[in-house]
Chains A and B, each alone.
Chain A
Amino acid sequence: MSVDFKFASLRKQPVPRFMLSPRRILADVLSSGWVESMIPFLAFICVVVGVAVTTQDYFVASNLRNLAQYSADGGLIVLAMLIVVAVGGIDLSVGSNFAMSAFVALFCFHILQLPVPVVLVASLGCGAVIGATNGLLAGLIGCGALLTTLATMITVRGIFTLSSQAQMVEISTSARIDDLWDWIGFEKILTMPIGFWVLLAVAILIFVMFRQSAFGWHVLAVGGNRKAARHGGIRVKVTVFLSYVLTGLIVGLSGFLFAARQNSISADTGIGMEFFVLTALVVGLGGFVPGRGAVVPVLIGFATIYIFNNAMINSGFRGDFVQLCMGAIIILILAIDVKFRKNRHRLLASTYLDPVKVTLAPTRGMAGLMPHEIAPKLALARILGAGQLDGPEDVILDRDGNLYCGNRDGRILKLSGPDHSDISVVAKIGGRPLGLAFDPEGRMVACVAGMGLLRVTLDGAVELLTDQTGRSLLSVQDDTSIRMADDLDIAPDGTIYFTDATKRYDIDNWGLDLLEGRPNGRLLSYDPRTRKTRTVCDNLVFPNGVCITHDGKYLLVASTWSCSILIFDLADLAAGPRIFLDGLPGYPDNINRSSDGGYWIALAGMRNAILDQAMKYPGLRQRMTKRVPPTNWLFGNLNIGGVLKIDGSGRIVDALWDAPDGPLYMITSMREHEGALYLGGVTNDKIGRLQLAYADRQWTSQQSYWGKG
């Protein structure tokens, strides 16, 4: 039946280079991580502008240097507090710890006359010991963080007061001078004081820690959900303990910097610091939020409070009035921030779906083949694995006639041939396995929604091939991650072509992509030799099934919501797709080769006049998603599907349907193997096996792709 077609004579499928939609930009901005810090950042800008307008020469270089000089110790303590808050705790003893560490530094420097590096170690050690005490009590033993650190705060303050009173005179009369000590206290690098650079370095380290280190992730996991973290194998108590120690260390460092700069302490050193720091933290984070290691927002919050406080005091306002203003403004910022956070998701939900007008080509080439016109051939199919499978989206057979499918629970299952009644687990992947293919070595390659492209050997070894591709240049949302790897096929040169059906919706919400109707998907390729992933064609409408043509020169790609099959020339992928077949009566899913040189197309659902018309009304779909409960949204009819048989030129030659209420209602994949057609469905719990009257009983997909083997 093999019939040639002329690629150059096929119509070109226009593919947009980018999508310009204000609604989408707003939705993408709202769904970005950094938008969380927007209100603190705006508050910071307001404070800066307000101070700049009302205070002359406040933001001149000399004053900024001055601010940087004195802000380092406060900034470090804010970062220290961030760690302990991120792990789900609190540290009220930071002020006392700060004072004690400063005292230890001065004592070691002036009284014990120790070298400066040793003084630093002593100061850090003091902070770490106090942190370890907190960690021991709050983390390991399990006393409450608030009470523990309150007790430590009082105790350390007592020790500090006693020690400092005994040594204060000696310290203040000490005549020791040390170049390194003075360098740390007063020197500048690139016009900025040492303390500022230390603060910057520590901020970067903590940022990297939260982003890249296992410990940082553990801290966030414990803070986010202690029970889940424990179930995930994280040593929760040790993580909490180490967080307190790290907090203590940073406070110790801050105390050391303070000592080097001030060379003195007083009875009120560090008093009230914990509240100042907590205020900055709460303003930056928009509340007391465990499990969030947001370094930049917290520093912005600190800068807001610090500059506001400093500017008011400099302006000569009374201290109590400054406090009153601070309190009022903080309440205002927090109120706005909380309101914004509360409504952000609502706003995002109401803007995320961004429908567009879609006009589908009318159904054609189906005369005499529609479900009401012919007998339901799939009603003759034998049912395999009934009730033992859960969503076999794709089915595939190896050379020995064993049948494989993915399961909703993340397992790849094997139905051993020839009767396929014995079901065993090949591998546990964890994601949602969709498309499957065998490579020339007989290994299975699987598209896994939410994970990417994986390779599975038949002895159960799982290897991630790729889960990222290049970022689109003109997209607000970071689209490097492969969100919904759907189907794949392997070219004769070994290159794997696969689809990322939608970049905007997860497997659970893939139907929303239909209501949106935008080209949100992409065709990707992975070269096993170079291990490189490439975006072959972006902005396709739900690219789904992928099939290399029999001659190995072209690539067929099902565009599900367009009800069409696209074709790419493998020798010139940059030329873009052409339309191989459109006006299908339903939503095409996987495409696979047939033994007679044609192809099988799975139809996951059927078009109907009402939905086709609704696709021309984007405003209606938008309003519907706002006013109608999701369960009542108008949707594609996925309760009836089938299989189309096309010849090599793209002409529909047969259609296989089940009875309207039959068990093989939604077909997402089919494979021909030795004269039988195996049928899978992503919402079904069974596989169908239909004996084909006109098929080559020797033909297998494996041989078609890779020869006799």
Chain B
Amino acid sequence: MTLEGVLGPNTVIDDAEGLKVEAPQALCVVDGSRLLISSGNAVLAISRWGDQPQPWCVFDQPVTALSASPAGTVGIGLADGSFSVRDRAGSVLAGWGRPESLASVTDCLFVSEDEIALVDSGYRAGEDILSRAPWDETGRGQVVMINRNGAMRRLAAGLHCPMGLARDADGELIVSLLERAAIVDLAGKVRQPGFPAYLGRVRATESGYLLSCLSRRDPLIEFLKTEAEFVAEMKATIDPRHWISPRAHPEFSHDFPIELGATRLFGEIKPWAPSFSYGLVIATDTAFIPTGSAHSRANGARHAISDTVEWNGDVIAVSRASGEVLRFSFAREAA
């Protein structure tokens, strides 16, 4: 897939309404009406777009994942790989198992009112997964199931940078892989490969799925994967912050490499310029065929879309780069 056709460029994300939130990461909708937004160590709540976000709960770690069950139970993944379950008022629900030996919780999903599946990317908080993922062949990610009675079982292991979790039309769990740009099931079978972006979370909708994309794929990075000696030296001698890699922020910095087409003219980056950061949400049908897309291009600021949900008929997305929660809708391809 390339960024053409229904994935062709637009300015939907740049034109979207935005709500400034400090360090947003994850979203979920509780009871079909209330939107929870993670903001650093806190979770904020709004009942209507335009309302001021109200504190819902505060943790001692950055919140990295949110999920709500149909009954209104909320699962919260934290940066240190720990996990918490709260009721809709934010009170702790006791009895849920505590996951062990998880590097992080990047997403979670209630399979039933008594079970929740957690995704562990294999990268600890503080390790820049975007910098490292293209240059790491080891599949360290896993999916585990936590039971209300305290039991924990591993559903899948050896996944390469799993980021998101959803259920397909048959109720089977599917996982989005960041660097492999693919949707797989728990057996590792590829449901849809070749997305033109580094995938974040995947969310089931009534008509298919919403894929949050942390950046778009880049031909230079793909090429450098074939240059083993160069990559080995880069990993050995250069700070990961300065590696060639997808990025969350479209910032200018004197010590970042750029691509030839990304040179500023008259001070501006052209929208069609190559960039290591990008904002993209892809809507697909139930077979993961794209039906629509929303972009924040090279000259935009709303990059690194980490989570997307449907809420009150709109698409709500998180831009990690701009620190905003965005509201938009996009016209999908006629079925």
Contacts and interface: CB of A to CB of B under 8 A. Distances in A.
Interface of A: 370-372, 387, 511, 585-586, 606, 608-611, 613-614, 617, 620, 623-624, 627-640, 657, 660-661, 663, 665-666, 683-686
A640 B220 contact: no
B219 A608 contact: no
17 contacts: A585-B254, A609-B239, A610-B238, A610-B242, A610-B243, A613-B233, A620-B227, A628-B223, A630-B260, A633-B220, A635-B257, A636-B258, A639-B263, A640-B254, A665-B267, A666-B264, A686-B267
Interface of B: 218-220, 223, 226-227, 229-230, 233-234, 237-239, 242-244, 251-267, 269, 273-274
Contact of A638 (B229, B237, B253, B264): B264
Given A633-B220, A660-B252, A683-B265, A613 B237 contact: yes
B220 A639 contact: no
Given A631-B273, A632-B274, 15 more contacts: A370-B254, A511-B260, A610-B234, A610-B238, A610-B257, A628-B219, A628-B220, A631-B274, A633-B220, A633-B260, A637-B258, A638-B258, A638-B264, A663-B267, A665-B264
A668 to B, nearest CB: 13
A660 B253 CA distance: 6
A639 B262 contact: yes
A311 B252 CA distance: 72
Contact of A634 (B233, B244, B267): B244
Contacts of A631: 259-261, 273-274
Contact of B238 (A511, A606, A613, A639): A613
Contacts of A634: 220, 244, 257, 259-260
Nearest to B259: A632
A608 B223 contact: no
B230 A617 contact: yes
Contact of B257 (A371, A611, A624, A684): A611
Contacts of B263: 635, 638-639, 683
Nearest to B220: A632
A547 B279 CA distance: 46
Contacts of B260: 511, 630-635
A632 B252 CA distance: 17
A137 to B, nearest CB: 51
Output the residue of A372, A628, A660, A685 with the most chain B CB within 10 A.
A628
B252 A620 contact: no
A606 B242 CA distance: 13
A685 B267 contact: yes
Given A608-B242, A613-B230, A617-B227, A665 B257 contact: no
B251 A660 contact: yes
Given A371-B254, A624-B220, A660-B253, A635 B259 contact: yes
A660 B252 CA distance: 5
A686 B266 CA distance: 8
Contacts of B262: 635, 639
Most buried by A among B234, B238, B254: B254
Nearest to B229: A617
A640 B252 contact: yes
A665 B220 CA distance: 24
Q: In this complex, which of A372, A637, A684 has the most chain B Cβ atoms within 10 angstroms of its Cβ? A: A637
Contacts of A665: 252, 264, 267
A609 B223 contact: no
Contacts of B223: 623-624, 627-628
A61 B258 CA distance: 67
A661 B252 contact: yes
A639 B256 CA distance: 10
A683 B266 contact: yes
A688 B165 CA distance: 52
B252 A609 contact: no
A629 B265 contact: no
A608 B264 contact: no
Nearest to A637: B258
B256 A608 contact: yes
A370 B264 CA distance: 21
Contact of A632 (B218, B226, B254, B256): B218
Contact of A683 (B238, B239, B261, B264): B264
A666 B254 CA distance: 11
Contacts of A387: 266
Nearest to B222: A628
Nearest to B223: A628
Contact of A606 (B229, B254, B269): B254
A398 B128 CA distance: 53
Contacts of A686: 266-267
Contacts of A657: 254
A103 B312 CA distance: 97
Contacts of A640: 252-254
Contact of A609 (B219, B255, B266): B255
Nearest to A619: B227
A405 to B, nearest CB: 15
A631 B275 CA distance: 10
A178 to B, nearest CB: 74
A617 B230 CA distance: 8
Contacts of B238: 609-610, 613
A613 B264 contact: no
A586 to B, nearest CB: 8
Contacts of A627: 223
B88 to A, nearest CB: 42
Given A613-B237, A620-B230, A634-B220, A372 B254 contact: yes
B218 A608 contact: no
A640 B265 CA distance: 12
A611 B267 CA distance: 22
A632 B219 contact: yes
Contacts of B259: 631-635
A684 B291 CA distance: 40
Contacts of A624: 220, 223
A610 B273 CA distance: 20
A632 B258 CA distance: 9
Nearest to B258: A637
Nearest to B221: A632
The interface centre, meaning the residue of A608, A627, A660 with most chain B CB atoms within 10 A of its CB, is: A608
Nearest to A512: B260
Max chain A Cβ within 10 angstroms of own Cβ: one of B234, B237, B266, B269: B266
A684 B219 contact: no
A508 to B, nearest CB: 12
A371 B254 CA distance: 7
A563 B192 CA distance: 47
A59 to B, nearest CB: 55
Contact of B244 (A372, A610, A637, A638): A610
A686 B258 CA distance: 23
Contacts of B237: 609, 613
A408 to B, nearest CB: 10
Contact of B258 (A609, A635, A685): A635
A680 to B, nearest CB: 13
Contacts of A637: 254-258
A206 to B, nearest CB: 45
Contacts of A608: 242, 254-257
Residue among A370, A631, A633, A638 having the largest count of chain B Cβ atoms under 10 Å: A631
Contacts of A511: 260
Nearest to A640: B254
Nearest to B263: A638
Contacts of A613: 230, 233-234, 237-238
A686 B264 CA distance: 13
A295 B292 CA distance: 60
Nearest to A630: B260
Contacts of B227: 617, 620, 623
Contacts of A611: 257
A170 B63 CA distance: 114
B219 to A, nearest CB: 4
A606 to B, nearest CB: 4
B230 A614 contact: yes
A305 B255 CA distance: 64
